[in-house]
Amino acid sequence: MGPTVPTRGGEGAVTLATAVPAAFAEATVIVVDDNPSNVLLVERLLRTAGVSNVHSFTDARLVVDRCVELQPDLLLLDLHMPHLDGYAVLAALHRALPADTFLPVLVLTADATARARERALDAGAKDFLTKPLDPIETVQRVRNLLETRQLYRTVQQHNEQLQAELDERTEQDRRRADDLDVRRARVEQVLRAAPLPMVFQPIVDLRTGAVAGVEALARIPDEPLRAPNEWFEEAGTVDLQVELELAAIQAAVAQMRELRPNAFMSVNASPATATRPQLASILAVHGSRIVLELTEQERVDDYPTLIAALDDLRALGVRIAVDDAGAGYAGLQHLLRLRPEIIKLDLELTRDLHNDPARRALAAALVMFAGEIDALIVAEGIECAGELHALRTLGVPWGQGFLLAKPGPLPVSAEVPGWAHGDQAADAPGHVARR
């Protein structure tokens, strides 16, 4: 059975009924009146209505400190009291409580003058009742104020939660901005230290073992020590990927004089870098000995612009290679749009090719496709004799990998037992500076 509230019977008698708001059960109420009888009456009325946590005071001088301590949901306050009247209590509460505190005050007084009501409401009271108190009206006023207080607390808690979430997002944004500043500073330091250190991995004619060309690869010695692709990915997060790629290509092309005249150099560029006029300026002098690799793993958002830029590079003698064929999202549609002169088989396709019929079938299809569009195939990641034999059986003309030669400084050579090494590179397209 729930708590009860006073109601009137048939002839004005006060009875009890079970209809107490939930706000009563957990509410803390302070009653202040210098008359102990009035305090006892109000306290009994509140407890009957379902308010169990009631604190009563007959000395108003104690009230402000207790309100700060207890943080009550409602204050029932007499006006005319010795030592400290109700108006002074309201003023002291205004000074003592935080500005965002909502403490509803119900004035209970025998002073029925309009002046008393106006002064009390102006001082911060939320409601006003005159003695003798009507039990029903008193409980109703108490209920209304407690419900208002509960609604206020709900809104306040919601706002606090929103503020906490906003603060957390702000802190996350700050940390993210700080992280981007650190990343940008690292990449800018690498760019200031240009030219970038470069190594070159031979691309070998799988029929003769001759070095047909090289792929240029950046080696960044700065801290933190990590794979070059991680540096380029980080540069992308701070809008410096194009600058870093151009720096790598510039550093690679600057070493063309160390490469045998009939060999080519392969350099890598993202679609964004491929469309920059600076790239054409870097490649123009040695265009016929350069192959530009575009990775299939990077999204192309504007094919017409990219294709136009590649056509301009082709006019300089540059040949285009699609990197990582057999991996990535674009697939054959990407190859059909770009019509590259060279298709590079992804190392995941090369790996264990001799033991995997599915890989061999896909590689064979790409070899056939390359023949149809008059392109050449380069297999990446050759690391064992079985893979090499399978690729030669499929008719793949060129390859690179640790089995053939590791990256190193120019000039380069390939050492594969059992091959008669020719002195001249195959007459074929060149590779681009790989990161």
Q: Which of 89, 71, 93 is nearest to 33 (CA)?
A: 89
Q: What is the pLDDT of residues 325-368, one digit of tens each?
A: 755 445 677 888 889 999 999 888 999 999 999 999 999 999 99
Give the separation between CA 183 and CA 415, rounded to whole angstroms: 40
What is the predicted pLDDT for the residue at 272? 92
Please name the amino acid found at residue 285.
V
What is the predicted pLDDT for the residue at 419? 54
What is the predicted pLDDT for the residue at 261? 86
Angle subtended at Cα 69 by Cα 68 and Cα 71, rounded to the nearest 5 degrees? 65
| Residues in the chain, pLDDT under 50 | 1-5, 9-20, 328-329, 420-435
What is the predicted pLDDT for the residue at 187? 96
Q: Which of 435, 368, 428 is nearest to 399 (CA)?
A: 428
Q: What are phi and psi of 398, to 5 degrees?
A: -125, 155
What are the structure tokens assigned to 321, written together? 């290679």
What is the predicted pLDDT for the residue at 415? 61
What is the predicted pLDDT for the residue at 407? 93
Give the separation between CA 85 and CA 81, rounded to whole angstroms: 5
What residues contact 176, with CB distance under 8 A and at least 6 apart?
Answer: none
Residue 312: other Cβ atoms inside 10 A: 15
What is the predicted pLDDT for the residue at 413? 77
Q: What is the pLDDT of residues 17-31, one digit of tens each?
A: 444 466 788 899 999
Which residues on adjacent β-strands are paired with residue 202?
214
What is the predicted pLDDT for the residue at 416? 57
What is the predicted pLDDT for the residue at 246? 96
What is the predicted pLDDT for the residue at 327? 55
What is the predicted pLDDT for the residue at 21? 60
- In the chain the domains, ranked by start, together with CATH numbers, are 5-160 (3.40.50.2300), 193-434 (3.20.20.450)
pTM: 0.68
What residues contact 179, with CB distance under 8 A and at least 6 apart?
Answer: none
